[in-house]
A and B are shown apart, each in its own frame.
Chain A
Amino acid sequence: MVTALGRRSLLEPRSLGEALRLLRDEGPLVPLAGCTDVYVGLHFGTVPQQRFLDLQGLRALRGLRLRGDTLVIGALATYTEILRSPLVRRRLPILAEASRWVGSPQIQNRGTLGGNVANASPAGDTLPVLAVAEATVVLRSLDDERRVPFGSFYTGYRRTVMRPDELIVAIEVPPVEGRQWFRKVGTRAAQAISKVVMAAVRARRPRVALGSVAPTVVRVPRTEAVLAAGGELAEAQAVLVEEIQPIDDLRSTAAYRRRVSANLLAQFWSETTTSRRRGRRS
């Protein structure tokens, strides 16, 4: 990557307004937050873009706070900030749990929630959590602010509804009723990209979301409906393995992912039936 450095440029806005103006007038630009995805791509030559927009100077994108009943997480909040946040641990403990399983401490110190959402990997560890929490992605452009429900943010493999002149400024999370549950299954505990990752909420209307089993993170409404109707677990599992669309790839196989997804559903159901523990570590 050193040889190609000379042609690359970085714009460093001091304010959100300036950043949005640059995106509109000087685009296309690749936003840089924690760089834990973009710099891997640069190293392996899979990022052809030459012009970058640094978000690190934008204070408006930092911090975690409550606004009324809504948890507002700035796009630049790092995994370390999230997993240490008393607000997150109280209101959405499975987001803290998911953050603990991202990469390594070094990655958690740099990687951001906004980056995980924008990167749009089907394997993003925090994405099933945001899906079951029914979070909202707050997008800003120079003239507009859009609030996109998380369930309609992704349109396909690595595709989102974001326009090139927009930035994610925050993720908003409403109160979540019911017991929360999370588990990531990978080759090893640290530094593994998930084979299957599941987040779920045990409430009158149970919610279940999975990563690494479809082109995007997915909620599984038909499975949820079986659980909500009081159907047998085996029936919900049978629906689940039909409802997801896993593939064979370098990390796992479709068959394994179906089997593990069904097992995770059973584990979620039994652990939220028999114990009051929130979240779970693998």
Chain B
Amino acid sequence: MRFSLNGRRTDVDAPPLKRLLDVLREDCLLTGTKEGCGEGECGACTVLVDGVPVNSCLVPLAHVRGRRVTTIEGLRSRLPEALVREGGTQCGICTPGVVMAAATLGPRPTAARVREALAGNLCRCTGYAGIVRALAGARAAPPPRVRRARRR
């Protein structure tokens, strides 16, 4: 089964009904995508297919033939830094899915827009306030100081 994975052509030998989530973790060895509930409720397994967020636990491999799949490993984004800065991540299981679901938000999204985009992403640690703060301000915020200091 051929598809594009994080910008690279990929050919996977797996059953067509295998969950995309399992293909990514077991066949492609990309374990950044997490399994939470396995029934499309929690959003932890969110990836992009042709740029659109979907739950990879509910996608058969056959449905990505010839498509572009983007996982957390292939996303260039400053959202993770913003989540760390704002206390928007704790145990980390929901975080890759949160970042992928938020990846399609335009610049400077409102808090209401963030909440709507993340309606399908459950977090049991943070209470969401830190996540919304991070994502609503992320594009506008300057690079975090901690990181800059470390780079020196």
A residues adjacent to B (C-beta < 8 A): 1-2, 5-6, 8-10, 12, 32, 34-36, 39-40, 43-44, 52, 54, 56, 80, 103-107, 109-110, 189-191
Contacts and interface: CB of A to CB of B under 8 A. Distances in A.
A35 to B, nearest CB: 5
B38 interface: yes
Contacts of A109: 52-54
Given A35-B60, A35-B63, A40-B40, A5 B120 contact: no
Interface in B53-95: 53-55, 57-60, 62-63
19 contacts: A5-B17, A5-B18, A6-B15, A12-B16, A35-B58, A39-B19, A39-B59, A43-B57, A54-B63, A56-B63, A104-B119, A104-B120, A106-B43, A106-B55, A107-B40, A107-B58, A109-B52, A110-B59, A190-B120
Contacts of A44: 39
Contacts of B40: 36, 39-40, 103-104, 106-107
A43 B120 CA distance: 19
Given A34-B58, A106-B101, 18 more contacts: A2-B19, A9-B17, A12-B62, A36-B40, A36-B55, A36-B58, A39-B19, A39-B40, A43-B57, A54-B16, A103-B40, A105-B117, A106-B46, A110-B54, A110-B58, A190-B120, A191-B119, A191-B120
A92 B55 CA distance: 28
B13 interface: no
Interface in B97-119: 101, 116-117, 119
A52 B17 contact: yes
B19 A32 contact: no
Contacts of B57: 39, 43
Interface string B1-37: 0000000000000011111001000000000000000
A56 B59 CA distance: 12
A190 B15 contact: no
Interface size class of B (residues with CB under 8 A): 20 to 34
B119 A43 contact: no
Contacts of A189: 119
Nearest to A5: B15
Given A110-B54, A110-B55, A105 B116 contact: yes
Contacts of A106: 40, 43, 46, 53-55, 101, 120
A43, A52, A189 pick with most chain B CB within 10 angstroms: A43
Contact of B119 (A9, A12, A190): A190
Contacts of B43: 104, 106
A160 B116 CA distance: 34
A40 B38 CA distance: 7
Contacts of A8: 15, 17
Contacts of B62: 10, 12, 54, 56
Contacts of B119: 104-105, 189-191
Nearest to A110: B54
Nearest to B120: A104
Given A5-B18, A6-B15, A191-B41, A32 B60 contact: yes
A106 B102 CA distance: 11
A2 B18 contact: yes
